[in-house]
Amino acid sequence: MSADLDFALALADEADALSLPRFRAVDLRVETKPDLTPVTDADRAVERALRERIARERPSDTVLGEEEGDEGGDVRWIVDPIDGTKNFSRGIPVWATLIALERDGVIVCGVASAPALGHRWWAARGEGAYRDGERVEVSKIARLEEATVSFSRSGLDDPRTIALALAAWHAQPFSDFWAHLLVAEGGVDAAAEHVMSIWDNAVLQVIVEEAGGRFTDLAGNARIDGGSAVSTNGLLHDDVLARLTA
């Protein structure tokens, strides 16, 4: 295991130790940010702790986090302290801390830790993708009519999303990060999100790709800053993109 991935896993341990005790806490504090999305005291505590540890142990590295912004730099940790804050704030266990490392514009490793689900996914370039220590791979489904697809609320206003779901063998809107990680482990064959941020996409890209899949934005570009996300087993990618953009 690379030193970078080992450190990312240690950061995830620290995040879990802070977030899990706040999940379903009776005194959880929930506020509304200017963009009308919720933020909890756990979101802020996790990001602050990870920033402080990175500054202490990796002083030359910088951080881009959802709650405290971007420090810039060529070696940058990208952090979503709690992806799925709406779930977290309502006691739904589908949420995770997302931690990825970018070097010179390339995501080299990442960890998605979902302690309330009891699972953790990780990957490093050239080392494969894993869930709870077991290697995962995407499915071999090659036809949409035989595929399971996931879509998000952000795509419900687009009739092409509904048409894609109806054309698939099975459609299920899995929440936030989980849909794309289910693609990585082969349970879902394609997942699409019309609205995504860098801190959402960074870790998903490396895990899906290391599992043998493809991860792009809706325009088909393999980037994390395109504002959207489509992950597939690779075999379905062109078909899914065509249906969503036709």
Express each pLDDT in 183-202 by its tens digit. 999 999 999 999 999 999 99
Q: Is the pLDDT of residue 36 over 90?
A: no
Which domain, by its residues, includes 153?
A: 144-245
Distance (Å, whole) CA 193 – CA 123: 21
Query: pTM (2 decimals)?
Result: 0.96
| Residue 123 and residue 154 in one domain | no
Q: How many domains does the chain have?
A: 2
Considering the domain boundaries, does residue 111 fall inside one?
yes
Considering the domain boundaries, does residue 208 fall inside one?
yes
Q: Which residue, of 72, 102, 127, is where some domain finishes?
A: 127
Considering the domain boundaries, does residue 139 fall inside one?
no
How high is the pLDDT of residue 1? 67
Mean pLDDT, residues 153-170: 90
Mean pLDDT, residues 216-243: 97
Distance (Å, whole) CA 213 – CA 93: 26
Express each pLDDT in 117-156 by its tens digit. 999 999 999 999 999 999 999 999 999 999 999 998 877 7
Token pair, residue 17, equals 């130790």
Considering the domain boundaries, does residue 23 fall inside one?
yes
Q: Is the pLDDT of residue 13 over 80?
A: yes
Residue 37 confidence class, pLDDT cut points 50, 70, 90: confident
Express each pLDDT in 53-98 by its tens digit. 999 999 999 999 999 999 999 999 999 999 999 999 999 999 999 9
If DSSP states are collapsed to H, E and C, what string results for the chain? CCHHHHHHHHHHHHHHHHHHHHCCCCCCCEEECCCCCEEEHHHHHHHHHHHHHHHHHCCCCEEEECCCEECCCCEEEEEEEEECHHHHHCCCCCCEEEEEEEECCEEEEEEEEECCCCEEEEEECCCCEEECCEEECCCCCCCHHHCEEEECHHHCCCHHHHHHHHHCCEECCCCCHHHHHHHHCCCCCEEEECCCCHHHHHHHHHHHHHCCCEEECCCCCCCCCCCCEEEECCCCHHHHHHHHHC
What CATH number is associated with residue 57? 3.30.540.10
How high is the pLDDT of residue 246? 84
Considering the domain boundaries, does residue 134 fall inside one?
no
Report the chain's mean pLDDT, rounded to a whole number: 96
| Residue 9 and residue 118 in one domain | yes
| Residue 158 and residue 80 in one domain | no
Mean pLDDT, residues 15-41: 93
What CATH number is associated with residue 155? 3.40.190.80
| Residue 122 and residue 164 in one domain | no
| Residue 122 and residue 157 in one domain | no
